[in-house]
Amino acid sequence: MKTKTSMAVWSLAALLGFVLLAGCGKKEEEQPAGAPTAAPAAAATPIDPATAASISGTVKLDGEAPKAAKIDMSQDPACKGTNTAENVVASGGHLANVFVYVKEGLGNRTFDVPKEPITLDQSGCKYHPHVMGVVANQTIKIVNSDPTTHNIHPTPKDNREWNESQPPQAAALEKTFAREEIMLPVKCNQHPWMRMFVNVTKSPFFAVTGADGKFEIKGLPPGDYTIAFVQEKLGEQDVKVTLAAKDSKTVDATFKP
């Protein structure tokens, strides 16, 4: 008798348990939906002008500057005037055409793309300027002031390559480069001596040394930076510098030929 009852009890319990189990099995599906996390559109990180620091300096060439090679332009009679190779331009020990920029230290800061375009002129079958800095996506306006046709042919590593013809008096070409790239070569296939370099950076903190070897970069927020000096032929030099608020420091570099 006793066993019978217990059996019944057990089976009842078991049934109940089963129902419960079955019931539970269905319930666990509902889960709160994960909160959507939309990435905010990149806006320029503000820089307080009151604390902005600056750096300036001179780039020197330690040693004899190589004599600038004369370029033979006879293949195109429209190319008039003198033309010399510009790969190392120095006078009195001052090195021109060195691209100076903040290589590291800006972290994840973002910057506005300058609205005004930068002009690249072709005149006397030469590029002006020979070395240029530009913020990524900033417009480069390319003008042909020569009475001959040029073609502009950048050969980038990390950007897209193109090659377009520009006859005399043609409308300016407007181009941009989207990705950072230092010393991106630009050439003209019709005048093989014509070469220049575009430097595309994320930040507007760059400069190109003038004939006196001098440069200045203004408006930097305080911080630890790596400043890179890049010369098309002589390579790159990095200098570390710490800027406090409103600092204005001198950073020089010397290249060996």
Partner 1 sequence: MPEKPIPENDPVVSKSLAPHYVISMVILMATFFWAMWDEDFGQRPWKAFQHEWKDRYSTFLKNARSQSGDAQKEVEASPDYQKLKQDYDSASQNAAPRIQELREKLRDLGARILAVQDGTNHFTDRRAYVTAATYAIETETSSSSKQRMQRNLEEYKAKPSTVEMPDGKLQTFKNFGELEEAYNELKNERTQFSAELGELIKPVNEKKELMDSYLTDHMVNLTPSQLTNLQNGVEVWTPKIRQINVNEHNADIVREDSSQIVDRCESCHMGIREPVKLTAAAMSLPGKKPDEYARAFTSHPEPDLLKIHDPDKFGCTPCHQGNGRATTSAEKAHGNYEHWLWPIFTPQNYEAGCQVCHSADMVVVTNDVGWVVSEGKDLFRQRGCVGCHRFEGYDKEPEDLLSVAQQIKQLDQEKKDNFKQAGDLMKQADKAESNEEANRLNDRAVALKVTNSKLDLRIVQLDRSTKSLLEDMKKVAPNLKDIRLKLNKNWIPVWLKKPSDFRATTKMPNFRLNDDQIKAISAFIWQSALKDSLPKHKPGNATHGKELFESRGCLACHSIGEGDQLQGGTFAANLSRVGEKANYDYLVRWVHNARERTRPYCPLEKKDIGPEDYKKKGLPYVFDLEHSRCPNDGHELQVQNMTVMPSLRLSPQDAEDVASYLITLKKQEPPSYADASFMDDPNLKDEGKKWVRHFGCAGCHEISGLEDEGRIGTELTIEGSKPIERLDFALFTEIAQRGGIEPITDPDDLVRLPEGPAKQPWYDQKGFFEHKLAEPNIWDKGKDKPETEKLRMPNLHLTKEQIRALTTFLLGSQENPLPPNYQYRPLDYRRDIQEGWWVVKKYNCMGCHQLIPGQKTSLMAMARYKDAQEQLPPKLLTEGARVDPEWLQRFLKNPSLSTTDTNRNGVRSYLQVRMPTFSFSENELGKLVRFFQALSRQPFPYIPEEVPVLTAKETEMARSLFSSTAAPCLKCHATGDPAHDRFATAPNFLQARGRLKPDWMERWMLDPQAIAPGTSMPSGLFKRDNGHWVFSGPTPASFQGYDKDHTKLLVDYILQLTPEEQRRVGAAMGRSSAASGSSSGAKSSGNGGRGAPE
Residues that bind partner 1 (CB under 8 A): 2-3, 6-7, 10-11, 14, 17-18, 21, 25, 29, 31, 33-38, 69-72, 74-78, 85-87, 147-149, 151-153, 155, 161-168, 170, 185, 187, 189-190, 192-193, 195
ω into 40 cis (within 30 of 0): no
Select from 217, 219, 221, 257 the least CA-distant residue to 239. 217
Query: Are the CB atoms for 145 and 213 separated by under 8 Å?
Result: no
Give me the least distance between CB of 29 and partner 1, in Å please.
6
Select from 138, 101, 142 the least CA-distant residue to 122. 142
Query: Are the CB atoms for 191 and 31 separated by under 8 Å?
Result: no
Give me the least distance between CB of 85 and partner 1, in Å please.
4
Residue with Cβ nearer partner 1 (32 or 46):
32
Residue with Cβ nearer partner 1 (67 or 256):
67
- Consecutive H or E run containing 11: helix 2-27
How many Å apart are CA 18 and CA 13, to the nearest integer? 8
Give me the least distance between CB of 151 and partner 1, in Å please.
4
Give me the least distance between CB of 219 and partner 1, in Å please.
31
Taking the alpha carbons of 181, 89, 130, 59 in that order, is the dihedral positive or negative?
positive
How many Å apart are CA 97 and CA 212, to the nearest integer? 10
Three-state DSSP at 220 gives strand
Taking the alpha carbons of 75, 80, 81, 87 in that order, is the dihedral positive or negative?
negative
Give me the least distance between CB of 47 and partner 1, in Å please.
28
Give me the least distance between CB of 38 and partner 1, in Å please.
6
Residue with Cβ nearer partner 1 (58 or 166):
166
Residue with Cβ nearer partner 1 (168 or 219):
168
Residue with Cβ nearer partner 1 (129 or 221):
129
How open is the CA angle 238-240-246, to the nearest 5 degrees? 130
Residue with Cβ nearer partner 1 (22 or 50):
22
Give me the least distance between CB of 12 and partner 1, in Å please.
11
Residue with Cβ nearer partner 1 (25 or 81):
25
How many Å apart are CA 158 and CA 56, to the nearest integer? 29
